[in-house]
Copies of this chain bind each other. A is one copy, B any other.
């Protein structure tokens, strides 16, 4: 079998870039043996060429000049690992213009400008491969794009942000406050110094935009996705939820509703404590994908980190080197925005169950009033929990869970509860997500 030599250029020599360089330099022979492709890391571009990294590059490979990569016509695959949406976009466009296929882990960029970049790539007969942009080392893009290609995806439920899952599972396991766990997560490298993008749900929304695009074949915009973060989660709600049989996760959700519209949302979600996703702990990721033929499939692994993400980047490099990515990319048809907008369910119309906690004054008639407000908005109660004993200001936490109701009904009921003088301000409200059970019958 003849070997195929492929030269690779890399922009961004940070954590993931270092991991990719390690795999390409130290694992080259094993990759060649498996695939017949000999990958050669010909150029690594970073503004910082001084800081030592834990990998030995061949002499002359490291440079701070992007032009060297762009101008080298022997480099056919260019990897963008700069991150962000401004410089990185410019770099990807230049890579495409220079005739290179692009591999990237940049979810923020694809979520914001994927449609435009994909069009540019296709015009130039190039491809963009992006396995590493979603869920790190888990081959989820491959699974949806190829493994489940014979299915209509009916729903996806993903834990796709390791920082949030680390925080929530630690809050739950140790009954600790958000701030305490966040500080520990930062110390241990599971949260950034500025964790905003993660804890706000923004990063999960980026990944959802990408996964939903390929699952449904829609050009999805971040505006299509309802996003709520975990910043305001209180440990007592995790505790009360657990008492009622639920586990709290930040889920990225894509669901086809019965009318065929797609609901896209990222929010803290109570899920049944005995379901598969409830058991995903720490910084791990998992995505449950429901297909029309296959039923439920679930994919689990490390969603971030140097080597897991590098594993996905290098898998893409090989797929491009073999010519497979190009074909799949060529046929990746996304319904354009103007058609898609009417196919996305408005959040107001979305139907859920809910967990609600109010701090009620401990006086006669309060629970009846609580029930009346909900009933007035056509919201039916499914469960309730009230422990004896007092909270601050002579109030007691009263938790109820509801049957399915529209977001608009719940919003109206919450506004009314918040206005009342007996319910201690804004109620806590967390959506309950009933992940379908695909079990033996």
Contacts and interface: CB of A to CB of B under 8 A. Distances in A.
Interface of A: 1, 19, 23, 27, 30-31, 33-37, 131, 137-139, 142-143, 146-152, 166, 188, 190, 217, 276, 279, 281-284, 291-302, 307-308, 310-312, 314-315, 318-319, 322-324, 327-328, 330-331, 333, 438-441
Contacts of A298: 298-301
A319 B146 contact: yes
A26 B383 CA distance: 43
Contacts of A148: 139, 311, 315
Copies of the polypeptide in the assembly: 2
A149 B315 contact: yes
Nearest to A142: B147
A53 to B, nearest CB: 16
A143 B144 CA distance: 11
B150 A331 contact: no
A327 B322 contact: yes
A137 to B, nearest CB: 4
B137 A36 contact: no
Given A27-B150, A323-B323, 5 more contacts: A146-B324, A147-B312, A147-B315, A149-B314, A322-B324
Contacts of A292: 27
A295 B166 CA distance: 17
A325 to B, nearest CB: 9
B294 A33 contact: no
List the 7 shortest-distance A-B pairs measured between CB atoms, nearest first: A139-B147, A150-B314, A297-B301, A137-B294, A36-B331, A282-B440, A293-B311
A299 B140 CA distance: 10
Contact of A293 (B137, B150, B296, B323): B137
B297 A333 contact: no
A259 to B, nearest CB: 18
A34 B333 contact: yes
Contact of A295 (B19, B276, B308, B438): B308
A301 B296 contact: yes
Given A137-B297, A279-B276, A294-B301, A318 B149 contact: yes
B283 A315 contact: no
A301 B295 contact: yes
Given A293-B19, A331-B35, A146 B138 contact: no
Contacts of A150: 23, 27, 31, 310-311, 314-315, 318
A381 to B, nearest CB: 31
A151 B314 CA distance: 9
Contact of A217 (B19, B23, B34): B34
Contacts of A37: 331
B308 A293 contact: yes
B315 A146 contact: yes
B331 A34 contact: yes
A1 B327 contact: no
19 contacts: A34-B149, A35-B328, A137-B291, A137-B295, A138-B297, A143-B143, A148-B315, A150-B311, A188-B441, A281-B440, A282-B440, A291-B311, A293-B308, A295-B308, A297-B301, A299-B299, A300-B300, A322-B324, A322-B331
